[in-house]
Every structure is written in C-alpha cells, then in structure tokens.
Structure 1
Amino acid sequence: MKAIKWIKKILLGIFILMCSMLIIGVIYEYVSRLKGEKIIPDGQFADIGGHKLHYLKQGESGPTIVFEAAFDPTGHLQWHNLQNEVSKFATTISYDRAGILWSERGNNPKSGEKMAEELYLLLEKINAPKPYILVGHSLGGMLIRFYMDQYPKEVAGIILIDSECPNDEDYLSPELYAMVSQGLPEGFLKFANSVGLARLIYKDMFPDTKEYEYQNTVMPALLHKSAYGILEEGKQDSFIKKEAKKIKNFGNTPLYVLSAIDENRFDQFIKDSTLNTEMVNAWNKMQRDMLKLSTNSKQILVPNSSHYINQDQPTVIEDAIKNMVNELE
C-alpha cells in the first residue's frame, strides 16, 4: 500500500510540474509576442491586393537582384548580411513571403504559381527596375522556376543556391526518400508555438555571433507568425514539387548553380552512414542535372559549406552575382 501511495505522489508531482512548465511557457510566449510587436520593421510594405508584403530594398545602381528565401522562418533575414554587401553595386530586394515575419498572410493558396504571382505584384508595385537577376536558396530556388515560367521576359539571369530538386524522388531510394520527405508535425508545431517551445526548436537558425545579432533578435520575436507560414508551405511541398518538375526549360537565360560539396553536410540529419553517403551522391547529381535547365549554365562548387552557403561562404554568392552582372552589361 505504501508503494501505491508513493507512486500516486510521484505521478501527482509530475503532473503539477508539467502544468507549471506549461503555464510558464504560455507566459513566456505571451511576453515574447508583446516584445515582438514593438520591433520596428527594417523595410517597407506593399499592398498587392488584399494583403501587404514586407520587403527590404537597398542600393540604387546596376541591375535589380531579387532574393528568394528557403523553407524556414527567417524570411528576408536570411539575406540580411549578404544584401548589405551586394547593395553596394546593385539594386537589391529581399522580402518575406506571405505569413512570414512581417508579411500578412492573405488568402492566396501556398502554391508555386501564386507565390510567384505575389512576388511579381510586389515588384510591380514598388517599380523595381527590370529585368531581374533572381537568387534563390533551397526551396527559394525551386520557387524561382515558377517565376521564370510565368514571367520570362522579366528575368535577366538566375542563381540557384543549393536549390531543391522537384523530382528528388527519382534520385533517392524509397527508404531515404521517406526519411527526407517527412512533413512537419502540424499538431505538435501548433502546440509548441503556443507554449514557447517553437522558440527553442528554431533558436539556432543563425550563428550566435555579433554579425547575426539583428537576425537573432528579430526572428525569434516574430516566430509565432512565421511558424504558421512555414507550416502551410510544408503541407504544400509535394504539390509544389509536382508542379515545379514540369518546368524544365529556361531557354538560354544565364544560369549559375551554386552547390555545397562538404561531404559531412548531412551528418546532423542522417546518422546512418549508408543513407548519408547515398544522400551526398544523389544531391550532387541533382545539382549537376539542374544545369540542363538552361543552354547557358555553369556550376560553381562551394567547399567547406553546409546547405546554408549564404552563412558559410557568403562571398562566393557575392562574387557569383558580380560575375553575372558583368556578363549582362
């Protein structure tokens, strides 16, 4: 009987502890959101018909460089430091897709076609000088396909940075494909977003250095908004890929494919050595095959870099943009 009483006391203690932690988490999340509301946006807003998108425009000379971000809650912040450098010799525009950071969600579906249309309307609204050099990282590289397909006359050149491949299933074994294509756990993410856990999950999006002090202040503060935006994009990933793989021809539009080649870049996510090696080889082949999108393409291999080349080797991207600008002059 004493053992049963002790078990009940332990279970009651665990229950009380969990409730206390949840209450603390809810309070922490509430306070964090209040602080987030006080942060002044670093850019401007453009109404694209029904909702506003937040964008940052820097630089007034040369061609217009348009940055498209990856699948994560950082939005335009992903390009913040690089944009500061590129704006010294070109007009630059980064933005937050609908529902990310300061951009309003709106009512459009999270399809590749609609996201391209929203970017087009944004650039039209702010009278961005044409044509554009589009720079897209990861998912952003795949989304560029839709823009190129719908508005080819607007595009002078394309730079894909370790871009996602829409037909990656063709390159991967069923086991590896199932592993890498798992969607975000919607119910857990919504719960985590309400009790402060999401802020812990995404706390390492940027290095903990002075160089990224601004990003590390803004992104966590606005994570409660961005979390739902990326959750929607994740749910639509298979549909976006299905539509994107139909877009196979950029004509002779200049295309640079920047590819990370660090052999250990997937170690954190794929522990099985056989699957890890398969992923490295498959990703390398996907990157090479993207050169077929244009008859005027070249690949730039980036050693000592993870998937986030813009953090690990930003000067490589800066140099690629400079070279493309020079080629187009």
Structure 2
Amino acid sequence: MKMEILSKGNKGQTIIILTGMGCSFDEWYNITKVLSQTNRVVMFHRPGLGESEIRNGNETRNTQAVVNELLELLTVLEITEPIILVGHSYGGLCAQHFVKTHPQKVAGIVLVDSTSVDLQELDQLHLPVLDEDETDEDWLEKCNSYSSMEEEQLKRILNPTIPEELKSIPEEIQQRLLDFQIKPSLYKAMHSEISNWKQDAKIIKSLETTINVPLIVLGRDKEFNIKLGKQDGLPEGELIIFEEKWQELINRQVNLSNDSKIVFVRGASHSIHINRPGIIIQIISEIVNKHT
C-alpha cells in the first residue's frame, strides 16, 4: 500500500508531526522549513489523505491504525532513537495513543489543541444552534456524501481556499493544498475516523500510563474563538459554554506526563500551526533542547 511521506532535514533530532483530521501536512510548510534546518522532520498522510492509498473495502481508520503505521514508518526509515512527537487535533489523540503504548520510543511530546480522551463530554453540552450541523452524525452524513462524488463536483460544492497566512508559501504547495481538499478518499477516511474516535478515546483513557518525558500542551485562545464565532453569527452564550469546556479538556492533558506544562496561545484558533507558526517552532525547539 502506497503512503505519502514528507521528510526534511537529515541531522539532529527526529521530529514526527501527526496532522489533524482532514488536514494536509503542507499546512505545516512554514514550520517544517525552519525546524528542518537543525532537525529531521517527518510527516505522513494517513491512508485516504493526499496520495496515500486507502483500501476499497471497509478499512478501519482509528488511532490504533495510526499507531501501527507510525511504528512501520520508524522501521522503514530506520529511526531507532526516541522521537519528538507532535500531534494537532485528531493527530494529538493519535499521539496520546502512541506515547501510552510505546513510551520508550518517545523523547518528548507536544499536543497542539489536541482532541481530548474525554471528547464525549462536548456532546453533553446544551448547544442547540452550534449543534445544528456540527454533530458527529452531521459530519458522517457529509463525509458519506462527499466520498461518493467526483473531484469536479467536490470542487464546486466546497470551493476550497487557502488561509491568508499560507498565501506566501510556494504556489505549487498552495495548489497541493487545494487539490487535497477535493479528493473523495479524504472523506472516506474521515468518515471512518469520526466513526471510531469516541471508542478510541475510551481505549486511550483506559491505558493508565503516566509518561516521564517532557510534554507541552498548547491550547487555542478562548476569547479569540468566541469573537470569531460571533462574527459568524453564532450565539455568544453557546460559544462561551463550548470554549470553556474545550479549555477544561485541554487543561486535563497535562496529566499525561510527570513533566508537563500548558500554554494557551493568544490570537490562535484551532489551527494554531497556521495562525501562530512561530509559537509552534519555539515550543518544539524547547522540547528538542530539553532532550539534547
């Protein structure tokens, strides 16, 4: 099975970054460009994303599958030393699964506004307007529909765009980002990941392991996100309830390690790596320096 891998730099510490759900590793271009000057940075597209193939049958996409793929990647690339593991959003859930099951392979960990092992608590909030088309069921329905469409059809419906902060990266990388969003296989993979992530979270939570490696937890800016939601016409009351719960879940992630700290990044949405790449570079470098 073909897997698309990005590898930059050939010296120093190995850093592996796991992307969020439905996210391309090209979103990290500005970060990997800097980090790879002194480190080896490796990223990969999970099956169904980018050029990575997904089986036509019912391939289960869950965090255990990502753990297995990461182990295989380390073997293929002959990486034997402990890695710095970075996970954004759903990639953070996968990173938590990996570090709990293979702690000896990890030298440090950075969670970037990571999905929580307690994510089901978000479903228990009373948010009638926010939940109108944002529940797992709504997303599963969308993904199911999109996965059966042609690329041209998806292009018309989704009208993909490039975030303002990424408009300075090379044009061919921008084009890859646009193409990435209109591949039907992406939505097939997302459908499976969403179908399994609540069960995955329970499994990861049940692994009662406390890690002894440096951990930095990054969270988004609560006030900034409430402001963004209000600009989209969403009710402030519901946004406050959601963002306070999200922050509480992020706060709990420091308990994953005996050596941890938390930073809430001002002016950052869920996509901290796009809004504030400099902070991500600084935090990952801090973890690298702790290890070396």
TM-score of Structure 1 vs Structure 2, range by shorter chain: 0.7 to 0.9
- C-alpha separation between the residues in 1 aligned to 2:150 and 2:212? 45
Question: Residue type matched to 2:169 in 1?
Answer: E
State the shift of 1:66 in Å: 0.1
Name the CA shift for 1:118/1:124 in 2 (closer, same or farther; >3 Å). same
State the shift of 1:241 in Å: 2.4
Question: Residue type matched to 2:40 in 1?
Answer: T
CA contact under 8 A between 1:158 and 1:253: conserved in structure 2? yes
Aligned to 1:322: 285
Q: Does 1:243 align with 2:203?
A: yes
- C-alpha separation between the residues in 1 aligned to 2:288 and 2:4? 26
Aligned to 1:311: 274
1:88 to 6, 24, 37: 37
State the shift of 1:250 in Å: 3.5
Q: Does 1:68 align with 2:18?
A: yes
State the shift of 1:189 in Å: 1.9
- C-alpha separation between the residues in 1 aligned to 2:207 and 2:277? 28
Range with bigger deviation, 247-256 or 57-66:
247-256
Extract structure 1 runs of 4+ deviating beyond 6 A.
none
Question: Residue type matched to 1:226 in 2?
Answer: L
Larger radius of gyration: 1
CA contact under 8 A between 2:63 and 2:197: conserved in structure 1? no
Q: Does 1:227 align with 2:184?
A: no
State the shift of 1:200 in Å: 4.5
Aligned residue runs from structure 1 range 31-70, under 5 A: 51-70=1-20
Instruction: For residues 213-237 of structure 1, give each alpha carbon's deviation from its aligned partner in whole angstroms, at most 9, with x where no partner exists.
Output: 3343013324323232223222223
- C-alpha separation between the residues in 2 aligned to 1:206 and 1:246? 37
Which sections of structure 2, spanning at least 5 residues, go unmatched? none
Range with bigger deviation, 229-238 or 299-308:
229-238
Aligned residue runs from structure 1 range 170-189, under 5 A: 170=121, 173-176=124-127, 179=131, 180-183=134-137, 184=139, 185=141, 186-189=143-146
- C-alpha separation between the residues in 1 aligned to 2:122 and 2:136? 16
Aligned residue runs from structure 1 range 21-40, under 5 A: none
- 1:264 is paired with a residue whose SS is helix
Instruction: For residues 147-185 of structure 1, give each alpha carbon's deviation from its aligned partner in whole angstroms, at most 9, with x where no partner exists.
Output: 112221110010000111121333664424992542422
Question: Residue type matched to 1:304 in 2?
Answer: G
- C-alpha separation between the residues in 2 aligned to 1:290 and 1:133? 17
- 2:108 is paired with a residue whose SS is strand
- 1:233 is paired with a residue whose SS is helix
State the shift of 1:117 in Å: 0.5
Name the CA shift for 1:122/1:271 in 2 (closer, same or farther; >3 Å). same
- C-alpha separation between the residues in 1 aligned to 2:277 and 2:121? 30
Aligned residue runs from structure 1 range 93-104, under 5 A: 93-104=42-53
Instruction: For residues 107-156 of structure 1, give each alpha carbon's deviation from its aligned partner in whole angstroms, at most 9, with x where no partner exists.
Output: 75212112111111012111125210000000000111121122211100
Range with bigger deviation, 101-110 or 145-154:
101-110
CA contact under 8 A between 2:144 and 2:188: conserved in structure 1? no
State the shift of 1:199 in Å: 5.8
CA contact under 8 A between 1:67 and 1:134: conserved in structure 2? yes
Identity of aligned residues (%): 22
Question: Residue type matched to 2:168 in 1?
Answer: K
- 1:300 is paired with a residue whose SS is strand
Name the CA shift for 1:274/1:248 in 2 (closer, same or farther; >3 Å). farther
1:149 to 66, 83, 100: 100
Which sections of structure 1, spanning at least 5 residues, go unmatched? 1-50
State the shift of 1:91 in Å: 0.8
CA contact under 8 A between 1:68 and 1:95: conserved in structure 2? yes
CA contact under 8 A between 2:144 and 2:187: conserved in structure 1? no
- C-alpha separation between the residues in 2 aligned to 1:134 and 1:294? 13
Question: Residue type matched to 1:201 in 2?
Answer: L
- C-alpha separation between the residues in 1 aligned to 2:38 and 2:151? 43
- C-alpha separation between the residues in 2 aligned to 1:270 and 1:245? 35
Instruction: For residues 75-95 of structure 1, give each alpha carbon's deviation from its aligned partner in whole angstroms, at most 9, with x where no partner exists.
Output: 322222211110011111011
Range with bigger deviation, 105-114 or 130-139:
105-114
- C-alpha separation between the residues in 2 aligned to 1:198 and 1:231? 19
TM-score normalised by structure 1 residue count: 0.77
Give the number of the structure with larger relative contact order, counting CA–CA contacts within 8 Å between residues 6 or more apart: 2
Question: How large is the RMSD of aligned CA atoms in angstroms?
Answer: 2.4
CA contact under 8 A between 1:161 and 1:309: conserved in structure 2? yes
- 2:136 is paired with a residue whose SS is coil
TM-score normalised by structure 2 residue count: 0.86
- C-alpha separation between the residues in 2 aligned to 1:226 and 1:311? 20
- 1:263 is paired with a residue whose SS is helix
Instruction: For residues 50-91 of structure 1, give each alpha carbon's deviation from its aligned partner in whole angstroms, at most 9, with x where no partner exists.
Output: x1211111112211000000011x332222221111001111
